[in-house]
Structure 1
Amino acid sequence: MTRTQATVDSVLTLLREEPQHEGQLEHLAREARELPVGELVYLVETRPATEAALLFRVLPKSIALTVFEALPAHHQAELISGLRTQQVADIIGDLDPDDRASLFDELPASVAERLMHGLDADERAMTTSVLGYPRDSIGRYMSPEVLSLRPEWTVAEALAHVRTHAAEPETIYLLPVIDATRSLEGVVGLRRLLLVDPEARVGDIAHEAVHALATDDREDAARRFFSAKLLAMPIVDAENRLVGILTVDDAVAIIEEENTEDSARTSGSEPLPRAYLSTSIFGIVRSRIVWLLVLAISAILTVQVLEIFEDRLDQVVVLALFIPLLTGTGGNTGNQAATTVTRALAVDEVRVRDLPRVVWRELRVGATLGLVLGVLGFVVASLVYGLSIGTVMGLTLMSICTMAAIVGGLMPLVAKRIGADPAVFSNPFISTFCDATGLIIYFSIATAVLGL
């Protein structure tokens, strides 16, 4: 057993005993200080609320703030209820305005209002400005604390300004250049400031800024951020006035949250509101049950199709043997296409206007896959069950693969067009649709070939 694991076990033992007197709390505090921040974050996330609050309470302020900032906003909100008022006030005051706004979203209005009144005027104003934007907009994730430069300054003046105010903003590596009305004119990197002639004008060395509107969708802005390979991105209002800056850590957090949500919905569930080990059994069931009910109801289509073609199955019983193979092939083919197109949408490789091109491409891909599988199915089925059954299998596999690939590529684009989440339209619904449609294709081909 490693030293860290032994310390973790000791902390867990103390938490379960719920230490009350000063000596026990001091022992817990000493043990907790020995743990890396990553282990502390894990413990706070995965322990019951009372134990998490107790552990957090004994941490030194600097470590507590680092741990608190690493937690999701909804978990921060749960933790606050178990902390002392002064400790909460100290932590809230040290958060960045965008992190504070995310936390306030998760708190009851009365609690958020009380905490807001505890902030100084400047922090309250910055937090209010972030809260003024829609919840899924990039304005909610920007930092309003921005170190900006004026185009008429010399590089020497700009560097002096940076040295004076470097401790205030969240980042100084990318510096927006604004005019007297705060209109964004460009950006300049700190490295470039250090390398050019001190007498050069900032406006002459600045370059065009990759920026986003504060009301832009957060995922779209974050994807654009990484596509441009930025360290920071200015955020402007509708009049092109600088209102904040998006930093790489916030962009990463957005993408991680979106990917987690997409991954959960693609597999037919909702993302968990907190860490898996600290989510109640009821919470996990609730995240999955709705989708299972929806899919169960939609799967009735498959049963109805089988009932319609029941007489064909009675005439040629061997047809029933291939149903799992055909439905599985159709679902897998559709899921592959949907996953590929959903990812392409997320990284802006495909747009809604590309729908005809995507359909044409997936038609050819599906037909090629179907040809390969169809030939294989024809050979195997013909050898075992005869030429007629082999013909049915070959034609059906080719048709189902083509249909499933088109549907799989089409649905994420349709979802994007109507403003829905492409992941929601992905694997579960495609599987169900392809099952029912594939069976109709199968029995239609069997009827024609076998003369049923």
Structure 2
Amino acid sequence: MTHSQLPDELPTGLQDALERHDLTSAQRWLDEQPPHLVADELARMDTVDAVVAFRLLSKDKAITVFEELEPVDQQGILMGLRDSAFGEVVSGLEPDDRVRMLREAPAKVVQRVLAGLGPRERGVTAALLGYPEGSVGRYMTPETVPLNQQLTVEQALQRVRARGEGAETVYTLPVVDSGRRLTGVVELKELVLSPPERTVADLVVTQAPRAQATDPAESAARLMRETNVLDLPVVDSEDRLVGLLTIDDAVEVIEAADTEDVARQSGSSPWTGHYMAASVWQLARYRIVWLLLLLLAATLTVGVTQFFEGTLEQVTQLAMFIPLLIGTGGNAGAQAATSAVRALAVGEVRTSDLFAVIWRECRVGLVLGVLLALLGLVLGVFFVGADIAVVVGLTLIVICSWAATVGGTMPLLAKRLGIDPAVVSAPMVTTLVDATGLIIYFLMAHLVLNLH
């Protein structure tokens, strides 16, 4: 679910009712609220209270609410249910939703879930879990209504009515040949609006986008966004239909990928679960590793300052502008890195564009540096005089050009090396630019002021 679309203030009362052991009031609250608000409230609670509240839901609403929860919250609730209720929940889930829950579940949860399924559901779930982690096969629904292109529109609609109830979606209907190889798709709207005697072959779109089951799920989801389709056919290596990636699952894939990128760009480890349900120690644990690494990397700046200690002793006024320069360089590098990570994620930039990006970002940084240098000259003349003002102005030009170039190219280099581009984005770029920016500053001071 998209928590950003929740209202600023949720109706209160559920937690209070549970604390008073007033199950009647709690059930009334649960009945009155829509599933997505109930799911958000359950995610905020500890596991015991969440299980108690979940068991008060009606069977149909319980399934809907469960599907809205994040996998970590689903697993916590499942482990608190009795076998009968446990079986009702896991068997009521769509296969792709069931696999979503099990992707990072402990082995004992996976075993209990599979044991609670019938032979058919167990086989479908095991088949989806057999695809590589992060592949579109893990996210697709295998429950589709394939059509043969020789069918008439009337026959096709009869097939949809007969098998549509067991399918997750019927808006996009894959068209296959006798060997179940995908030949195209037809939209339900086209069938409904076409004369009964026309054939599916007359309506099929043969150039529709598709993905292989082993393709990265994020790539498939972004393909859906680029091509504006509601469902994406998924095929195996021999082009046989194996399922559909639906728009709701594609949105979740993109949201998860963007959330991970934001976390890494801010210097934190990505994590799942509700922010309000996490303890202080959990939040600290996800952040401390990166802070320690960045702290160690920042010792480069200290080392550079010590190396040029003699320069600072000769012209102490240079120290006044160190925070301004390294802050500006770090910000320029972070801006370029964020733009590059975003462009890579949406497919606007490829690793083959490395040299084009270097040339572009170098010029962008030069323009920014010149504009900022004009302000730097004014400030420098006002505070310390013309000589140091020139040093500051020239340094701003070089630092901004260098920072933008580094920030724009490091994510592409990381991508080429198989590293997540977000990992080497803003925090790492900022730390690197801080250290190198000081070197540029002191070398510029030696050059302009003729220091020894």
TM-score range, shorter chain: over 0.9
| 1:13 counterpart = 2:20 | no
* Shift of residue 77, structure 1, vs aligned partner: 0.7
Counterpart code for 2:323: P
Q: Deviations over 1:106-156 (max 9, x none)?
A: 333233223213212221221111111011111100001011100111122
Question: One-letter code of the match for 1:414?
Answer: L
Aligned to 2:131: 133
Among 23, 32, 35, the residue aligned to 1:34: 32
Aligned partner of 2:174 in structure 1 is 176
> For residue 71 of structure 1, what is the aligned residue in structure 2?
69
TM-score (norm. length: structure 1): 0.95
Q: Deviations along 1:150-178, whole A, 9 cap, x unmatched?
A: 01111221111112112111111111111
Structure 2 gap segments, 5+ residues each: 1-6
**How many angstroms does 1:206 deviate by?**
0.8
Q: Distance in 1 between matches of 2:111 and 2:182?
A: 33
- Quick check: 2:79–2:109 contact (8 Å CA) kept in 1? no
1:244 deviates by 0.6
Question: Aligned pair 1:95/2:93, yes or no?
Answer: yes
CA distance in 1, matches of 2:102, 2:254: 21
Q: Name the structure 2 match of 1:86.
A: 84
Look up the equivalent residue of 2:344 and give its one-letter code.
L
DSSP 3-state at the match of 1:348: coil
Q: 1:179-218 CA deviation, whole Å, 9 max, x = no partner?
A: 1111110111111112233222212321122001111111
* Helix, strand or coil at the partner of 1:360: helix
Equivalence for 2:258: 259
Q: CA deviation at 1:281?
A: 1.4
Q: Which range moves more in the overlay, 290-299 or 214-223?
A: 214-223
Distance 1:293 1:192, change over 3 A: same
Q: Is the 8 A contact 1:334 1:408 kept in 2?
A: yes
When structure 1 is superposed on structure 2, of 24-33 and 159-168 the one drifting more is 24-33
Letter in 2 for 1:103: M
Gaps of 5+ in 1: none
Query: What RMSD over aligned residues (CA atoms) do the two structures have, in Å?
Result: 1.7
Tell me whether 1:369 sits opposite 2:372 in the alignment. no
Aligned identity (percent) is 47
Report if aligned partners of 1:272, 1:283 keep a CA contact under 8 Å in 2. no
- Picking from 144, 149, 154, the partner of 2:142 is 144
Measure the CA separation in 2 of the matches of 1:28 and 1:213.
Answer: 46
Query: Structure 1: how far apart are the matches of 2:215 and 2:147?
Result: 24
Shift of 1:5: 12
**What is the count of residue pairs matched by the alignment?**
444
Could you tell me how far 1:352 is from its partner in structure 2?
0.8
Aligned to 2:193: 195
Query: Partner of 1:268 in structure 2?
Result: 267
Q: State the match for 2:441 in structure 1.
A: 442
TM-score under structure 2 normalisation? 0.95
How far apart are 1:9 and its partner, in Å? 4.0
Counterpart of 2:245? Answer: 246
| Cα distance, 1:6–1:443 mapped onto 2, change above 3 Å | closer
Report the CA distance between 1:10 and its aligned residue: 3.4
Pair 195,14 (structure 1): closer, same or farther in 2 beyond 3 Å: closer
| AA matched with 2:160 | V
Deviations 1:197-250 (A, max 9, x none): 322221232112200111111111111110111100000111111101000000
Are the equivalent residues in 1 in contact too, given 2:154–2:196 (CA < 8 A)? yes
* 1:389-442, Cα deviation, whole Å (9 max, x unpaired): 111011100000000000010011112111221111100000000000000000
Tell me if the contact between 1:272 and 1:284 (Cα under 8 Å) persists in the aligned partners: no
Counterpart for residue 3 of structure 2: none
Query: Is the contact between residue 236 and residue 242 of structure 2 (CA under 8 Å) also seen in structure 1?
Result: yes
How far is 1:27 from its partner? 4.2
Distance in 1 of aligned mates of 2:396 and 2:8: 54
Q: CA deviation at 1:7?
A: 10
**1:267-290 deviations in Å (ceiling 9; x for gaps):** 111233311111111110111000
Structure 1 equivalent of residue 351 of structure 2: 352
Any conservation in 2 of the 1:412–1:422 contact (CA below 8 Å)?
yes
CA gap of 1:171–1:395, structure 2 versus 1, over 3 A, is: same
Q: Quick one: distance in 1 between partners of 2:29 and 2:169?
A: 34
| 1:99–1:405 distance in 2 versus 1, CA, 3 Å | same
Q: d(CA) in 2 for partners of 1:446 and 1:297?
A: 27
Distance of aligned partners of 1:427 and 1:187 in 2 relative to their CA distance in 1, 3 Å threshold = same
**Is the counterpart of residue 329 in structure 1 residue 328 in structure 2?**
yes
Q: Go from structure 1 to structure 2 and tell me whether the alpha carbon gap of 1:196 and 1:28 turns closer, same or farther (over 3 Å shift).
A: closer
Deviates more, 1:105-114 or 1:248-257: 105-114
8 Å CA contact 1:415, 1:421 repeated in 2? yes
Displacement, 1:380? Answer: 2.6
Q: What secondary structure does 2:165 align onto?
A: coil
The correspondence of residues 213-252 of structure 1 with structure 2, limited to 5 A, is: 213-252=212-251
